[in-house]
Amino acid sequence: MKDAGRMNSGRGRGSMRDSNPVLPENSALADELRTILKGKPTVSGFNRSLKHEILAFLAAVFKIVLVCVLCVFFAFGGFGAGMLLGYVSMTRPLSISDITQTDEVQTSFVYDSQGNVIARLTGSQNVDRIYVPISEVRNTYLEEAVISIEDERFYEHSGIDIRRIGSAVLSALANGGSATHGGSTITQQTVKLISGNDEHSTSRKIQEWFSAMSLEQELSKDEIMELYLNLAPMGNNYVGVQAAAQNYFGKNASELNLAECAFLAGLPKSPSYYNPLRETGRRNALRRQRIVLSKMYELGYITEEEYQNALNTELLFQTSHADTTDDVNSYFTEYAISEVINDVAMTRDISVDLAATIVYNRGYHIYTTLEPNVQAVLDEAFTTRDLFQQDPTLLVDYPEKPQAGMVIINVQTGAIAGMQGGYGPKTGNMVLNRATQAYRSTGSSIKPIIDYAPAIELGLIVPSMIYVDEESHLDPNNPEAAWPLNADRSYAGPMTIRRAVATSKNTIAVKVWYDVGGDTALWFLRQEGIDMTSEGSYPAQAIGSFTTGITPLQMCGAFNTLASGGTYTEPYAYTQVLDSNDNVVLTCSPERHRVYSAETSFIMSDILEDVITNGTATGSVSIITNSDGEYIATAGKTGTTDANLDKWFCGYTPYYCGAVWYGYDNRLRQTLIPTIDKPNANRIWYYVMSRIHQDLPGASFTRPDTVVEMEVCESGYYPSDYCREQASTITDYFILGSYLTPSQDNPCPIHIAPLEEEEQQPAVEG
C-alpha cells in the first residue's frame, strides 16, 4: 500500500518510514481517544448571535459565488476580462530569491560600529522560526499530510484548483456557510505567507491567483512545498515545521512520526483554535489530526495498518519551551535585528515572517551603530544595584523589583549608540525591552518639546518673559477646580520662563501650551518623532498626560532634535546590510527634517542647563566635565508622573543625548517609587553620561550669531539707569530682529526718574 500511495501521489520515493506505532491493547490512550475525540469540539471557536450567523452565512456564500464566477470568466475569457487584466497588472512580483537559492542554512553576523562581531544568527538562535530544507524531512510524512488536508491535487494543478474552489462552495452551502475546507491551494497559501497580504477582497484574490500561477512557473513543486513548510503558522508565534516540532515535541522535524506529522499538518488552518498549549486547543487539534490521517488513508498515502497504528499512537508533548542556544543577544542587538527584518519586509513587499527567516538563515552581514564604549558603560550601570535600589531592605515585600530603560543617541549622526532595556543581566532572548517597548507617562519631561521650544520657535516667549504662577482653572471639563497643581502644591507668583522651566511649574507650562495651541503643539511633537495626533489635543498633554505612553527611544529622539540644532533624525540602529556575497541588501537612510531654528535650539538648551544648576535636577545631576576637568555643556529635564509611578530624565550634551525611564513594570499592581529612590532616573543618567564623556574635549552649545546676550529689566523692557539703580536687571539671550527683543526705543515704563519737587510759588501780597 505504501508503493500504491506513492504512485497515487505521482511521486516516487525509496526511503522507508517508521511511524513508531503503539498497539491498541498496549495504549492507555486508545479508549480515551475513541470516547473523548468524537463529534465536534466541546468549546465553540465563535460566540455569535443568530442574526450574525445568518449575515455571515449570506456574506460567505455571496463571496464564494462571486469568486467562482470571476474564476470561470478568468479561465474562459469573456465578460470582465478587462477588470481582471487590471487587477493582474497591479500584482507585484514576489521576492523569494534569498530563500530559494540554496538549501544551505548560513550564519548571519551582526557587527558594532567598529566592525566587531557582536552576534551570530542562525535559525537555532530564534526558536520561533528555524528554516529546514525539504531534503531533511523527505523521510517523514509531512508532505503527504499537508497535501492530504490542504491540497490533494497539489502535483496536478498549475497554481489554482478550480475543482477545489467549486468543492469549497458546495461544502459551504451544505454546512451553513462554513466550508469543511478552503478553496486555496498550497501554492496560493504560500503566496500569502510570502507577501503577508491576507486582505479579503476580490482584487486581492485575483492577484493571488496570478501570483500563484507565476510562482508555479518560477519554482518547482518541491521548492513551493519547502517554502510552505517553513512559513506556515504553527501557533504561539512558532513559524514552520521545525520550530513546531522542537517546541511541541522536543525533536527535529526530520524525526517526526506519522501521528506527529498529521498533528502538525492540521495546525495552520487556525493556529489559535488548534493551539496545542491549551487544553481545549489540544483536543481540537487531535480531532483535526484524525481527519488528516483519514484523508491520508483515503488518498492511499498510508496503509490501513499505518492508519490504525497512528490513531493509537500517543503524542508526547514537551512541557517547556525549546531552548536550543546558550547565546543571549543584547537589547540593542535584538532591536537592530528587528529593524532590519521590518525594512527587508517593507522594501521587498514580503511578510515579516519571511523576512525574519531570510535574515536569520541566509548569511547576512548587519553593520550596526552600536558604540562599544558607550554600551559597556550602560551595561555597567544597569548591573549596579545602588543605582536602582538605594535601600534594598525597603523592597523586600515588593511584588517586583524596580526597572529602567535607557537609550543613548550620537548627537552628530542621530544613530543609536547604546541601549539597555532592563535591570540586571539579560537572561533570555525576545524579552521585554523597556527602552523601546515600555510606553509610559512622561510627566514634566515632555514640557520642553511640546510647550516651551514650540513657543520660542513661534516667537511667543523669550527666557526673560514674566508669567504668573498662581491658582488657575485651566481644565475646560472642570473649570471650577484648581488645575493644574504644582508638585509642591504651592504658587510662587510672577517669574520668568527660564525659572518656570528650571522649577517645573505646571501652571505656567499649561499657560504656554494654550498660547501655542493644542493642535500646533501636537504638530511639533509629531515632527520630533512622537505622533499623538490621533488622541486629539487637551491641556493635560502640556504636562505629559497622554492616553498612550511614550518610550525612552522616542523621548531620546525628540530631545536629540534640540541637541542637534533643531533637526530631527529618526533614530536608527544599523547602517547597511550585505548578503553572503557582499551585495548590498539594505542601506539605512533615516528621515531627517528641520523642526526648530538654530536660535530656538540654543536658547532652549541654555534654559535647560538651569534645570541642572539650580532646578529640579540639582543634587543628583551635575554639569559634565571630562577627565581634564573641562566643561561640557549639559542640558536636561526631569519628569515625574502622579503618585510617583514613573521617573524620567532626558538630557544631552553636544556629543550625546540620553533618555532614562525608571519605575516598576506594575504587572501585579501599581507600585509607588520609594522616596529614597525618586532621584534614581537622574542618577542613572548622570552615571552613564559622565563616564562616556571622559575622553571627549570640552564643548559648549553652538550659539548662532543672531542670538545676542542682553541686559534687560525684570519687567521685560529695555533697562534704564533707574532699573539698574533698583537692581532689577538680568542678562539673557534674545534673537536679533524679533519683536520680543528689547529696544532702546521702548524703555522700561516702570522704573522711571523720581519727580522733582515743584518750585515753591511766591506768596501773594495782601
Domain 443-548 has CATH 3.40.50.300: no
H or E element in which residue 68 lies: helix 50-76
62 pLDDT tier (thresholds 50, 70, 90): low
Residue 756 has pLDDT above 50, yes or no: no
H or E element in which residue 43 lies: none
Catalytic residue, chosen from 150, 226, 609, 714, is 150
Residue 161 has pLDDT above 70, yes or no: yes
Residue 392 has pLDDT above 90, yes or no: yes
Q: How far is CA 242 from the centre of its chain?
A: 26
What pLDDT, on a 0 to 100 scale, did the predictor assign at position 182? 59
16 pLDDT tier (thresholds 50, 70, 90): very low
Q: How many CA atoms lie within 13 A of 590 on its CB side?
A: 19
- What's the mean pLDDT when you consider all of the chain? 85
- Stretch 390-396: mean pLDDT, rounded? 93
Residues 565, 603 contacting (CB under 8 angstroms): no
User: Which has the minimum average pLDDT: 48-52, 734-738, 748-752?
Assistant: 48-52
Extract the C-alpha cell encoding 446: 515632555
Task: Give the residue, 720 or 656, on which the prediction is more confident.
Answer: 656
- Range of 322-326, 627-631, 666-670 with top mean pLDDT: 627-631
CA distance 156 to 151: 10
Query: What class, spelled out in words, does domain 2-90+128-311 have in CATH?
Result: mainly alpha
What pLDDT, on a 0 to 100 scale, did the predictor assign at position 72? 59
CA distance 564 to 664: 31
What pLDDT, on a 0 to 100 scale, did the predictor assign at position 216? 86
CA distance 678 to 683: 10
* Residue 601 backbone dihedrals phi, psi, to 5 degrees: -60, -45
59 pLDDT tier (thresholds 50, 70, 90): low
Q: How many CA atoms lie within 13 A of 160 on its CB side?
A: 19
CA distance 277 to 272: 10
Q: What is the pLDDT of residues 450-476, one digit of tens each?
A: 999 999 999 999 999 999 999 999 999
Task: Give the residue, 188 or 88, on which the prediction is more confident.
Answer: 188
Residue 26 has pLDDT above 50, yes or no: no
What pLDDT, on a 0 to 100 scale, did the predictor assign at position 546? 95
- Range of 31-40, 178-187, 347-356, 725-734 with top mean pLDDT: 725-734
Residue 417 has pLDDT above 90, yes or no: yes
Measured N-to-C along each axis, helices 202-218 and 81-89 cross at an angle, to the nearest 10 degrees, of 70
CA distance 604 to 608: 6
Residue 415 has pLDDT above 60, yes or no: yes
Task: Give the residue, 596 or 164, on which the prediction is more confident.
Answer: 596
Residue where the block lists cell 541637541: 563
- Stretch 88-112: mean pLDDT, rounded? 65
Burial of 123 (0-12, 13-18, 19+ CB in 10 A): buried
CA distance 253 to 255: 5
Residue 150 annotated as catalytic = yes
* Residue 747 backbone dihedrals phi, psi, to 5 degrees: -75, 165
Q: Is the dihedral of CA 259, 260, 263, 265 positive or negative?
A: negative
- Range of 95-104, 174-183, 702-711 with top mean pLDDT: 702-711
Task: Give the residue, 125 or 350, on which the prediction is more confident.
Answer: 350
What does the H/E/C string look like for 427-479?
Answer: CCCCCCCCCCCCCECCHHHHHHHHHHHHHHHCCCCCCCCEEEECCCECCCCCC
What pLDDT, on a 0 to 100 scale, did the predictor assign at position 42? 39
Task: Give the residue, 180 or 512, on which the prediction is more confident.
Answer: 512
What pLDDT, on a 0 to 100 scale, did the predictor assign at position 302? 95
CB atoms within 10 A of CB 561: 27
* Residue 578 backbone dihedrals phi, psi, to 5 degrees: -115, 150
Burial of 261 (0-12, 13-18, 19+ CB in 10 A): buried
Residue 215 has pLDDT above 90, yes or no: no
What pLDDT, on a 0 to 100 scale, did the predictor assign at position 433? 97
Catalytic residue, chosen from 148, 351, 444, 445, is 444
Residues sharing a CB contact under 8 Å with residue 571, sequence separation 6 or more, in sequence order = 407, 409, 414, 415, 416, 529, 553, 556, 557, 560, 590
Residue 711 has pLDDT above 90, yes or no: yes
Residues 452, 604 contacting (CB under 8 angstroms): yes
576 pLDDT tier (thresholds 50, 70, 90): very high
Q: How many residues does the chain have?
A: 766
Task: Give the residue, 528 or 72, on which the prediction is more confident.
Answer: 528
What percentage of the chain exceeds 90 in pLDDT? Answer: 63
What pLDDT, on a 0 to 100 scale, did the predictor assign at position 50? 66
Nearest CA to 358 among 233, 211, 231, 268? 231
Helical segments of 240-371, H only: 241-244, 258-265, 279-298, 304-311, 331-348, 352-361
Residues sharing a CB contact under 8 Å with residue 230, sequence separation 6 or more, in sequence order = 99, 129, 131, 132, 239, 240, 241, 242, 357
Residues sharing a CB contact under 8 Å with residue 170, sequence separation 6 or more, in sequence order = none
What pLDDT, on a 0 to 100 scale, did the predictor assign at position 623? 97
- Stretch 131-154: mean pLDDT, rounded? 92
Residue where the block lists cell 503577508: 196
- Stretch 671-691: mean pLDDT, rounded? 97
Write down the domain spans for the chain: 2-90+128-311, 443-548, 705-760
- Stretch 419-436: mean pLDDT, rounded? 94
Residue 559 has pLDDT above 80, yes or no: yes
Q: Is the dihedral of CA 238, 240, 244, 246 positive or negative?
A: negative
Residue 305 annotated as catalytic = no
Residues 598, 565 contacting (CB under 8 angstroms): yes
Strands (E), 30-72: none
Residues sharing a CB contact under 8 Å with residue 670, sequence separation 6 or more, in sequence order = 643, 645, 664
Extract the C-alpha cell encoding 419: 541601549
Look up the pTM and report it.
Answer: 0.79
Torsion of CA 288, 292, 293, 296, to 10 degrees: 170
- Stretch 48-73: mean pLDDT, rounded? 62
Residue 170 has pLDDT above 80, yes or no: no
Task: Give the residue, 216 or 173, on which the prediction is more confident.
Answer: 216
What pLDDT, on a 0 to 100 scale, did the predictor assign at position 168? 63
Residue 78 has pLDDT above 80, yes or no: no
